[in-house]
Structure 1
Amino acid sequence: MSTGSSDPSRAAAGGISTFKGQERALRADRLGTGGLLLSVLAATAPLMVVAGVMPTTFAVMGIVGQPLLFVLLGVVLILFGIGYAEMSRHVHNAGAFYAYISRGLGGTAGAGAALVALVAYNALQAGIYGIFGFEVAGLLDTYADITVAWWIPSLLALALVGALGCLKIDVNARVLGVLLIIEVVLVVIFDIAAIADPGPQGLSLNAFNPDTLSGAGVGTALCFCIAAFLGFEQAPVYAEETSKPHILVPRVMFLAVAGVAVFFAFSSWALTVATGPGQIVPTAQEQSAGLLFFLTEARLGETFTDVMHVLFVTGMFAAMLSFHNVVARYAFAMGREGLLPSAFGRTTGGSGAPGTGSLLQTAVSALIVIAFAVTDDKPHGDPTAPILHLFTWFGNVGALGVIVLMALASLSVVVFFVRRGAAGTQGWRLVTSSLAGIALVVIAFYTVKDFDVLVGAGPDSSLSWVLPGIIGLALVAGLTQGLIMRSRNPEAHARIGLGNEAFQLEKAAESAETETEKASTP
């Protein structure tokens, strides 16, 4: 990305190339392909998906064909990624989703998307603190005979994540990378063990049979499964911190989507092989979130299962750190463009990290965790507040928000290239974006329709409209802010989504004004 510099010699020496100076730019050249890939994949929390999402989908939805769902969703998200990746070659902004939507649908739509993104990723990150605290408390009780409330490890992790969020992004990438690789290795070992020692039906491929996707629960199962992919769409958020964003961001996005689809399809198939396709649903209903550990203990022993329990926790920590970094960068981009106070649009010290945005995310998560802790009147070890409420409610709110953003981004891709007169040359990308957008709208519809099932509430529960209403409220509030900005400060409104490019426009305008003044001076 070309951002210009007020000091060419400094830029040439490897400094920050930005009109506003170092404090208004994220540090470039921090991430290569590996670091960027690990940063976005960490958000998928593979062990949390295999141990948590997959058993829940089998048990609650009764869908044996979950492996096929991951394949189908992988296709949809690759179709989405084709246009999304092409946009990343034209727009390099830590605001990613809202920057893209601004370029296609205008600044007001971008302001709405910005607030939806901020709320959605905050919700995803805060929700994980619930299951993290519960699992750590359980480990301490089991292995150290120490009884603590779930919110104590949650708040300790929150403080550590906040501290790491203020460090250099390449340091974060190394932490995320180590945790992610270990998780993946453990799951692959289980997959191999399941295939080597299959259930009574042998190496059956029945889970890939389209007939297994019949029934009323398919739409809701799609909602569960698409949440497992969340993370790949974060690659453009780090565009300003890579050396060649136009190359690295698209590459990482496709690697992430393809890798996640294959990995989760294979691992969910391994679960069906281990029990037998005919028994996976009743076994998941009996074992619940303990399904994976039940199967590993039978095949790989108690020690391996204990290690997996520990890595289950560290994987959640990696996901929390990944989402934290994304929220901090959205806050930075919004502060830089006037959608949040300008203090959020500055980086911190020598790390080049968006420190104020990091503090905001930490404060929001702390308030949410404390609120659930104060209202938790259940005995220690009861999962109601940390998992069934905090994790489930906020996780699904966040997932709905990201699905809505992806659908809007698909529409934005089409409008962006049509307005640029590139409909002919980008025709196939417009088709793939349109197909992906339609599929994402369908998934969003089922997510809202079946929200009571997703959060475990009754069909008449107010939660079925209050929780998805959070995303609707964020969208309306953001659009209102955009309209007010367009009325009161049209110049700032015109810069929404432009990032450092807006500063270049300011610089060019100032330069032109100076030249005009000189020319008019006798």
Structure 2
Amino acid sequence: MLTGSTNEISTFKGEQRALRADRIGAPALLLSVLAATAPLMVVAGVIPTTFGTMGIIGVPLLFVIVGVVLALFSFGYAEMSRHVHNAGALYAYISRGLGSTMGAGASYVALFAYSIMQIGTYGIFGFEISGQIFQHWNHNVAWWIPALCGVVITAAFGALKIDLNARTLGVLLIVETLLTLVFDFSFLGDPGPQGVSVHAFNPSTLSGAGLGTALCFVIAGFVGFEQAPVYAEETSEPQKVVSKVMFLAIGFATVFFAFSSWAITVATGPSHVVGQSREQSANLIFALNEGRLGSAFTDTLNIFFITGIFASMLSFHNVVARYAFAMGRDGLLPPVVGRTSKSSGAPAVGSFLQSTVALVVVVLFAVTDHGKFGPQGPDPTAPVLRLFTWAGNVGALGVVLLMATAAVAVIVFFVKRGAAGVQGWRLVTSGLAAIGLMVIFVYSVKDFAVLLGANPGHGLRWILPGVIALAAVIGLVYGMVLRVRRPEVHARIGQGNEAFQLEKAAAAAGTAEEPA
């Protein structure tokens, strides 16, 4: 017997099968999505690492190029979001277009990719807090202690209502964005030895052995915009809100990151940005600010750098929890994962699952870390160069693969429904985006050894990207098993709450037809 009103969906076991609707509007959704991009973390952490590790001056131009590719992708993706409202977003779209088995494969790639990206941020979170304690109080605190505290705090926030999370993320995002703009303009007002140069936008600056991995770094800076459909079930008017938020997020990220990375080249001088990035690494922004805006501003910047990392951790945590919830509801994970909290409406079991995995991974890295404290602070090898950088780029590879596949799924979805003529221009942009994203994926895998600082034959240069392939194989095999053994579950993959509503309506119709 089914209980509850038409607006509150539950089974006789009390499992909440739907996320709470009308929890989050357009402004709050935009802030949640942008928080995942972590503007200050990208500008102060990812961009200097890209300059230094990849040796490419044209990072600002790469942000423009990738922004164009993602805008092309979003035309079809946004239209798809008007037809499918599912917390499993990418894998649900792939399932609707390319079939349930492909959807199963995509679900495991999505779960792993977002999960590993979220866990990777604990590395830089712990390292930065450890470094600040060393700098200001001269105490040696291992990075994994604040990292584990971050796991606990994120778990607590993850169990709260999404609208409370959105307000927290929004405040942090606004502050860190304003601080970033302040030092961007200070760089332009007090340029380096080569003046205000636009050399970084010259296509000739894109030469270098690490171009493919630089593209992966840049893609990682954008990751978050595609998460808007994940919250479709929890928004008011998802047909309008989700697509609007996606385009605003892409536009913001493209302009903001291209402008900020260009400002860095102006502050150092284009000819010196690679060398100074290699020397200073994630401290580059703070070193450049010290002489321009003073130590008080730099200390404030350090604080909001850490809170920005936390905002990114929480945003990705929420997305992973919703993907896990959607997979549990679709039968791709144990049914218990597809439950929400009765009090907050949050996907409580999925949230707990992600926190548990994060705890295990951080502990494993802590056990294998033999870093020391030097004159400049803690050794970044384990938390930053391995946990944060490796995990972030492997996760970004998975998201790129998912987006390329989703672009193809969009084309098939509308062609199958006889809407190719009406949606013609969107299908063209989706096709162009699929090609562009696959080129980025292939080049990223090809240049992965540059990221590791290893020779091309090093085992890890294949093992780390290979984890994405392993996740896909696991999902595809499980999808094939479901097709044979549980065809009714296989047919529901990607349908989410819509399938449950149909089951509910069918059950109600059957009851009505029974004789009195």
Is TM-score (shorter-chain normalized) higher than 0.5? Answer: yes
- 8 A contact 1:176–1:318 mirrored in 2: yes
Q: Matched residue of 1:339: which SS?
A: coil
Residue 458 of structure 1, aligned match among 449, 455, 479: 455
Partner residue in 2 for 1:396: 393
Partner residue in 1 for 2:304: 311
Deviations 1:307-338 (A, max 9, x none): 11111111111110001000100111011111
- 8 A contact 1:19–1:504 mirrored in 2: no
- Report the alpha carbon displacement of residue 216 of structure 1 after superposing the two structures with TM: 3.5
Amino acid at match of 1:16: E
1:360 and 2:353 equivalent? Answer: yes
Which is worse superposed, 180-189 or 389-398?
Answer: 389-398
- 8 A contact 2:79–2:243 mirrored in 1: yes
* In 2: Cα distance, 1:50 partner to 1:455 partner: 21
Question: Compared with structure 1, are the counterparts of its residues 228 and 81 closer, same or farther at alpha carbon in structure 2 (3 Å cutoff)?
Answer: same
- 8 A contact 1:396–1:455 mirrored in 2: no
- 8 A contact 1:137–1:148 mirrored in 2: yes
- Report the alpha carbon displacement of residue 224 of structure 1 after superposing the two structures with TM: 1.4
Partner residue in 2 for 1:129: 122
1:220 and 2:213 equivalent? Answer: yes
Alignment of 1:53-92 (within 5 A): 53-92=46-85
Deviations 1:125-179 (A, max 9, x none): 1111111111111111212333211111001110010010000001101111111
Amino acid at match of 2:277: A
Question: Compared with structure 1, are the counterparts of its residues 471 and 255 closer, same or farther at alpha carbon in structure 2 (3 Å cutoff)?
Answer: same
Partner residue in 2 for 1:504: 501
Amino acid at match of 1:93: N
Partner residue in 1 for 2:87: 94
- Report the alpha carbon displacement of residue 375 of structure 1 after superposing the two structures with TM: 1.4
- Report the alpha carbon displacement of residue 512 of structure 1 after superposing the two structures with TM: 4.2
1:201 and 2:194 equivalent? Answer: yes
- Report the alpha carbon displacement of residue 82 of structure 1 after superposing the two structures with TM: 0.5
Alignment of 1:298-337 (within 5 A): 298-337=291-330
Deviations 1:275-297 (A, max 9, x none): 22222222222222221111111
* In 1: Cα distance, 2:480 partner to 2:234 partner: 31
- Report the alpha carbon displacement of residue 182 of structure 1 after superposing the two structures with TM: 1.1
Deviations 1:26-68 (A, max 9, x none): 1111111111011111111111111111112222222222111
Residue 25 of structure 1, aligned match among 18, 23, 47: 18
* In 1: Cα distance, 2:434 partner to 2:503 partner: 35
Partner residue in 1 for 2:408: 411
* In 2: Cα distance, 1:360 partner to 1:458 partner: 36
- 8 A contact 1:19–1:507 mirrored in 2: no
- Report the alpha carbon displacement of residue 517 of structure 1 after superposing the two structures with TM: 4.5
- Report the alpha carbon displacement of residue 514 of structure 1 after superposing the two structures with TM: 3.7
1:16 and 2:8 equivalent? Answer: yes
Partner residue in 2 for 1:432: 429
Structure 1 unaligned spans of 5+: none
Q: Matched residue of 1:202: which SS?
A: coil
* In 1: Cα distance, 2:263 partner to 2:252 partner: 16
* In 2: Cα distance, 1:246 partner to 1:16 partner: 21
Partner residue in 1 for 2:439: 442
* In 2: Cα distance, 1:330 partner to 1:142 partner: 39
Partner residue in 1 for 2:147: 154
Residue 477 of structure 1, aligned match among 474, 478, 481: 474
- Report the alpha carbon displacement of residue 510 of structure 1 after superposing the two structures with TM: 2.2
Amino acid at match of 2:178: V
1:210 and 2:203 equivalent? Answer: yes
Q: Matched residue of 2:346: which SS?
A: coil
- Report the alpha carbon displacement of residue 214 of structure 1 after superposing the two structures with TM: 3.1
Q: Matched residue of 1:23: which SS?
A: coil
* In 2: Cα distance, 1:22 partner to 1:238 partner: 19
- Report the alpha carbon displacement of residue 257 of structure 1 after superposing the two structures with TM: 0.4
- Report the alpha carbon displacement of residue 16 of structure 1 after superposing the two structures with TM: 3.1
Q: TM-score by structure 2 length?
A: 0.96
Q: Matched residue of 1:16: which SS?
A: coil
* In 1: Cα distance, 2:405 partner to 2:319 partner: 19
- Report the alpha carbon displacement of residue 108 of structure 1 after superposing the two structures with TM: 0.5
Alignment of 1:112-191 (within 5 A): 112-191=105-184
- Report the alpha carbon displacement of residue 363 of structure 1 after superposing the two structures with TM: 0.3
- 8 A contact 1:118–1:327 mirrored in 2: yes
* In 2: Cα distance, 1:250 partner to 1:272 partner: 33
Deviations 1:490-519 (A, max 9, x none): 11111110111101221233244345544x
Structure 2 unaligned spans of 5+: none
Amino acid at match of 1:138: G
Amino acid at match of 1:388: L
Partner residue in 1 for 2:339: 346
- 8 A contact 1:83–1:410 mirrored in 2: yes
* In 2: Cα distance, 1:474 partner to 1:316 partner: 26
Which is worse superposed, 215-224 or 431-440?
Answer: 215-224
Deviations 1:347-378 (A, max 9, x none): 11210000000000000000000011111122
Partner residue in 1 for 2:104: 111
- 8 A contact 2:9–2:17 mirrored in 1: no
Amino acid at match of 1:437: A
- 8 A contact 1:16–1:28 mirrored in 2: no
Which is worse superposed, 334-343 or 500-509?
Answer: 500-509
* In 1: Cα distance, 2:279 partner to 2:88 partner: 43
Identity between Structure 1 and Structure 2 (%): 64
Deviations 1:177-217 (A, max 9, x none): 11111111111001111111112222222211222223443
Amino acid at match of 2:308: G
Q: TM-score by structure 1 length?
A: 0.95
Which is worse superposed, 479-488 or 46-55?
Answer: 46-55
* In 2: Cα distance, 1:160 partner to 1:208 partner: 41
Partner residue in 2 for 1:294: 287
Deviations 1:245-295 (A, max 9, x none): 111100000000000000000001111111222222222222222211111
- 8 A contact 1:236–1:249 mirrored in 2: yes
Amino acid at match of 1:490: P
- 8 A contact 1:79–1:432 mirrored in 2: yes
Partner residue in 2 for 1:229: 222
- 8 A contact 2:210–2:447 mirrored in 1: no
* In 2: Cα distance, 1:22 partner to 1:87 partner: 28
* In 1: Cα distance, 2:233 partner to 2:438 partner: 30
Partner residue in 2 for 1:35: 28
Amino acid at match of 2:455: G
- 8 A contact 2:212–2:445 mirrored in 1: no
- 8 A contact 1:42–1:176 mirrored in 2: yes
Q: Matched residue of 2:343: which SS?
A: helix
Question: After the TM superposition, which segments of 4 or more aligned residues of structure 1 sit over 6 Å from their partners?
Answer: 18-22
